[in-house]
């Protein structure tokens, strides 16, 4: 099983940018497609986007399309989520997840999860 650790969350003003990272260990990282999800208080976990094994394909939720970018560096076993033009409604705990399959929007289909990192966008 691959182990995942997110980092880079924090507090940012609306309209600002923030990048979060997810470092993987334990298994061959390039064998996994990676997803990003978020969960706000009192809400269900929401798909943000995903990236294929080699990074050549990405997909995004409509709510973040054009503002968020997912990338990965398989040499560093790391996937990134660059968030621009942030809005207060982007406030949530952000999770990375790994799956042998791509593309997947359903969180229950991902086999490994990080612990999450808090992103707070102030108005």
pLDDT in tens, 35-61: 999 999 999 999 999 999 999 999 999
Q: What is the pLDDT of residues 66-121, one digit of tens each?
A: 999 999 999 999 999 999 999 999 999 999 999 999 888 888 889 999 999 999 99
Q: What is the rounded distance in angstroms from the CA atom of residue 34 to the CA atom of residue 53?
A: 7
The CA-based angle 88-63-73, given to 5 degrees, is: 95
Whether the CB-CB separation of 9 and 20 falls below 8 Å is answered with yes
Q: What is the rounded distance in angstroms from the CA atom of residue 42 to the CA atom of residue 112?
A: 23
Q: What is the rounded distance in angstroms from the CA atom of residue 98 to the CA atom of residue 85?
A: 26
Whether the CB-CB separation of 36 and 23 falls below 8 Å is answered with no
**Measuring CA to CA, which residue among 47, 91, 44 is closest to residue 65?**
47
């Amino acid at each position: 099983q691959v182990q995942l650790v997110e980092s880079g969350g924090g507090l940012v003003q609306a309209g600002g940018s923030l990048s979060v990272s997810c470092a993987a260990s334990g298994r061959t990282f390039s064998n996994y497609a990676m997803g990003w999800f978020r969960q706000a208080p009192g809400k269900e976990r929401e798909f943000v986007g995903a990236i294929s094994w080699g990074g050549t394909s990405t997909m995004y939720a409509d709510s973040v399309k054009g503002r968020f970018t997912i990338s990965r560096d398989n040499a560093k076993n790391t996937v990134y989520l660059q968030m621009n033009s942030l809005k207060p409604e982007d406030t949530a705990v952000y999770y990375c997840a790994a799956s042998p399959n791509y593309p997947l929007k359903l969180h229950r289909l991902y086999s490994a999860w990080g612990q999450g990192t808090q992103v707070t966008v102030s108005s």
